[in-house]
Amino acid sequence: MDLYVAALGFALVSASVIAIAAVGFTMQFGITNLINLAYGVVMITSAYVAYALNQLGVTIWAGLAAGAVCGAVLSYLLNRFLYAPFQRKGTSHIGMVIISLAASLMLTNVVLAIVGPTSVSYTQDPGPTIRIGAMVLTTVQVLIIGIAVLLMLVIHALLTLTRLGKAMRATAANPSLARSCGIPTGRVIDGVWLVTGALCGLAGTVAAMNSDSFAVSNGAGYLITILAAAVLGGAGQPYGAMLGAVLIGVMTELSAAAISPEYKEVVAFGVLVLVMVLRPQGLLAKVGALAPAG
Amino acid sequence: MSAGPAPRPLLEASAIHRHFEGLRAVDGVSIDVLPGRVTGLIGPNGAGKSTFLAVLAGTLPASAGSIVFDGEDITSLPPYQRARRGLVRTFQLPSEFARLTVLENLLVAAPGNRGDSLIGALRGRRYWIGDERRLVERARGLLARLGMAAKESDYAGTLSGGQKRLVEIMRALMLQPRLLLLDEPMAGVHPAIVGEIAAYLEALRDEGITILMVEHELQVVDRLCDPVVVMAQGRVIGRGDMAALRQQPEIVDAYLVG
Amino acid sequence: MTYYLTTLAVYAGVDMIACLALSLQFGTSGIVNFSFIVFQAAGAYTAAVLSLPPDTANGGFQQYILGLEAPFPLPWIGGAVVGGLLALPVGLVVLRRLRSDYQAIAMLVLTVIANTVITNARPFLNGAAGLSLVPAPLAAQLDTGAVGYQYLYVAITAACVVLVFLIAQRIVDSPYGRTLRAMREHEVAAGALGKHVVALKMTIFVVGGVIAGLSGAILVGFIGLWAPATWLYPETIVLFAALIVGGRGNNVGAILGAVLVPIGFFEATRFIPPFGPPGLIPALEWVAIGSLIIGFLWWRPAGVLPEPRHVFPPTSPLGTIPARGRR
């Protein structure tokens, strides 16, 4: 039983990492109607940037900041020079998926060419362990949970209190209407990619901090887990993504304890398939998977 | 009006409801469509007309109610089975098969082609060429009648809005439908072509095809439709001929308010 | 040199068959099958475990199911059949109600997961190490080391290419092919005209699966081994690149694409002298593949050989139509 409570503790950390990533991913989809398959590799790239700084001995906070900046810049450029031009051309949804897949492949291999295939680890002092009942977590892990909670509050505040956030929600609901109301949708979308890109970078950095080691090949696994969380919660719904992240985190960690850690992504995939079959619009629906194909 | 028993309705829609996420788009609509007539369905924006049409065609499921087509309950049938029984719809937005030629658009609609199955295709051209030729002739006849014979090898995506609309109607006709559901056939069509399409629909009516038509262009409705059903806010608020309906103040109000 | 050319020819044949299958699914019917490689792998694994001896043989260093030592052509038939059978559950789950980009994502994820599962479930198909020492077809009757055998293999592969091409042409040029294209253009309108879209998609998905399985069987019979590393998800992307470059919805374009991309591109880069750290050139190859896809989608989305326009000759005064022309 203790094993499962401990797994629950890891689930909280997992959920935190997934939540940061999934919220960013789902916002990209909700506001720009784009499934950004390059999300996983941007996470990994940001993790490597933070790792490079980590090897130079900077603090954990500088590493996080660097990861966020890397993610924001990369995502912004990806949209500006690749996604947006194709969308303006009227490319279909499926065409955009092919393009984002090609971009993901290219970026993955550029990073691979630079850093190589071997895995690396953060040198960090995990800090004193903290015990809550049968849950055993390192300070870093508790820190990650804290960062996730903080970021969720920040995003909530952004969406509900700021002008940019409201503009984002308006653009997500009805882009042409938003434009005719005078919302500078081009700038809003730039803002979306910067904000969600920062989330992506932070998520990658935090995920790397949470693992024993990471390599370029981890990108695909991240993407699958994020997809599962986002679809489970309802594509395009940030609060849904948070809920989805918690559920996926719990399910994967419990299954890792019960079966084997190697099958974590398989469980996430299983959830993804079940959701797509039984309730494609997710738990908190908005635009669903049942929408007519474009 | 001739004496004699009233013809049985071709389509009987009873107490149709369509709710989606709290919105009652169609709120208890019952309409009978009589054979050989063009029934108009009009009303202000958001009245639920297109939604109702979609429920009749099967594109959207009804939340409640029943649809009986020529004596058969089709309420739970998917769109493709309704089409095979002679209930064919067109769409408000252009829905041509863009990268097929105009002739192919018509040919693909026609049932009864032996080559239109995997086994038929694998058996080779000799097996299906007879059916194909027969259908090509029929399709060409339709195109010639509307003066579009010269366009038969153009990709349908390159046509103008009005031409696309005509192709969609001809495409539906290749199925020899018993009831044609037209969703705003004049939407997005150049005013000069509206008359042409209206004349074509008149001719179809005279040939005995039954039509249910959602339309905003009241002149067209005047010319073609009898009877006319008025919807507002998901409900039927009037039925009859246009002249009589125009006299009823609540109908006029609905248009101003809705 | 001869061995190099015959190897190249077999690989080219396998890639042509794979591209033709994917073209039926993607080019003609609009199904973006990002899991294509899984069906080729299923065919290869099936052919392997059908032709291998029981896993206790050769010192028992491999663990796998079956091992029936079945004679040619049973392993190939088995591979094709399994490719088609696998298409049933996958298609039923993915192809029915989802919008197109969700479908594609689900299939992409399926590839990654299938690979993970096979890698980790060692007793099934020998896990990460994969299967090796797979007997070549007719190994008992012929000397598989001889040059003559190589030529024979090329000939059999070529015969399969011709067979698949004829099947694909018959499908695409028929009224059935027209229905598939209409479904690709506007699924809802096709349904409103009486087409059973789900049945159409499932059928072509299974047909593609059968052909993909055959291609896997042909390949594994030649190279004698098959491991998870052979069928990672980027392999499907190479085939998509081939179709995007060669021409979608055009069977000759599919063949051209197979020659240009998996064969031409990767063979051409083989001759570049190695530079930089190991793994740099493969990485750059993938970057180039991605650029090819994006470049063609921007400047020439139809590919080198676009889908031909179907033109019908005028009805002659006698009421018959002569042989149909193409423009």
| Contact map slice: C 166-205 vs B, CB within 8 A | 167, 170-171, 173-179, 181-182, 185-186, 188-197, 203
Q: What is chain B's pLDDT, residue by residue, as a tens digit (258 residues)?
A: 555 567 788 999 998 999 887 788 888 899 999 998 999 999 888 888 999 999 999 999 999 999 999 999 999 999 999 999 999 999 989 999 999 999 999 999 999 899 999 999 999 999 999 999 999 999 999 999 888 999 999 999 999 988 999 999 999 999 999 999 999 998 888 888 888 888 889 899 888 889 999 998 888 888 888 899 999 888 888 888 888 888 888 777 777 554
**Given this model, what pLDDT does residue B232 score?**
87
Looking at the predicted structure, is the pLDDT value of residue C253 above 80? yes
Dihedral angle computed from the Cα positions of residues A97, A99, A104 and A109, in that order, rounded to the nearest 10 degrees: 150
Q: Which amino acid is at B191?
A: P
How many whole angstroms from its chain centre is CA B252?
26
Coil, helix or strand for A129? coil
Looking at the predicted structure, is the pLDDT value of residue C26 above 90? yes
Chain C residues within an 8 Å CB radius of A92: 100
B118 closest CB neighbour out of C178, C203, C311: C203
User: Which residue, among C24, C164, C172, C174, would best test binding to B if mutated, counting the most B CBs under 10 Å from its CB?
Assistant: C174
Chain C residues within an 8 Å CB radius of B167: none
- Please state, in angstroms and rounded to a whole number, the distance separating the CA atoms of residues B144 and B124: 30
Chain C residues within an 8 Å CB radius of B131: 175
Looking at the predicted structure, is the pLDDT value of residue C53 above 70? yes
The answer, yes or no, to whether the previous bond of C75 is cis (omega within 30 of 0) is no
Q: Is C312 on the interface with B (CB under 8 A)?
A: yes
Q: Is B117 on the interface with C (CB under 8 A)?
A: yes
**Given this model, what pLDDT does residue A194 score?**
95
Q: Is C323 on the interface with B (CB under 8 A)?
A: no
Quote the minimal CA–CA distance from C104 to chain A in Å: 8
The β-bridge partners of B19 are B24
CA distance to A29, A178, A244, per residue, from A173 (Å): 12, 8, 21
A224 closest CB neighbour out of C101, C109, C234: C109
- Please state, in angstroms and rounded to a whole number, the distance separating the CA atoms of residues C213 and B174: 39
CA nearest to A223 within chain C: C109
Contact C20, C164 (CB under 8 A): yes
User: How many CB pairs below 8 Å do chains A and C form together?
Assistant: 130
Contact B122, C167 (CB under 8 A): yes
**Given this model, what pLDDT does residue A287 score?**
47
Query: What rounded mean pLDDT belongs to chain C?
Result: 89
Q: What is chain A's pLDDT, residue by residue, as a tens digit (294 residues)?
A: 777 777 888 888 889 999 999 999 999 998 888 899 999 999 999 999 999 988 888 888 899 999 999 999 999 999 999 999 999 998 888 889 999 999 999 999 999 988 888 888 887 777 777 777 777 788 888 888 889 999 989 988 988 888 888 888 888 777 778 878 877 778 888 999 999 999 999 999 999 888 888 898 888 888 888 988 998 888 888 888 999 999 988 888 888 878 777 777 788 888 888 887 777 777 776 544 433 333
Quote the minimal CA–CA distance from C36 to chain A in Å: 14
Looking at the predicted structure, is the pLDDT value of residue C97 above 70? yes
Q: What angle, rounded to 10 degrees, do the helices at A218-233 and A2-32 form?
A: 80
Q: Put the strands of the sheet holding B11-20 in their side by side order.
A: B23-33, B11-20, B64-69, B72-73
| DSSP type of residue B226 | S
Quote the minimal CA–CA distance from B190 to chain C in Å: 23
| Contact map slice: C 142-201 vs A, CB within 8 A | 187-188
C176 closest CB neighbour out of B59, B95, B116: B116
Quote the minimal CA–CA distance from C323 to chain A in Å: 36
Mean pLDDT across C226-253: 92
Residues 6+ apart with CB under 8 A from C87: C39, C202, C205, C206, C208, C209, C210
**Residue in the structure block whose two tokens are 């740099």:** C280
**Given this model, what pLDDT does residue A286 score?**
53
Contact C98, C106 (CB under 8 A): yes
ipTM: 0.91
**Given this model, what pLDDT does residue C240 score?**
94
Cβ-count burial B181-200 (b if 16+ within 10 Å, e if not)? bbbbbbbebeeebbebbbeb
Q: Is A95 on the interface with C (CB under 8 A)?
A: yes
Nearest by Cα to C70 from C48, C87, C99: C48
Residues 6+ apart with CB under 8 A from C77: none
- Please state, in angstroms and rounded to a whole number, the distance separating the CA atoms of residues B139 and B105: 9
Coil, helix or strand for C298? helix
**Given this model, what pLDDT does residue C42 score?**
96
User: Which residue, among A109, A111, A115, A290, would best test binding to C if mutated, counting the most C CBs under 10 Å from its CB?
Assistant: A109
- Please state, in angstroms and rounded to a whole number, the distance separating the CA atoms of residues A214 and C288: 26
CA distance to A25, A32, A154, A188, B107, per residue, from A161 (Å): 21, 21, 10, 15, 56
**Given this model, what pLDDT does residue B257 score?**
52
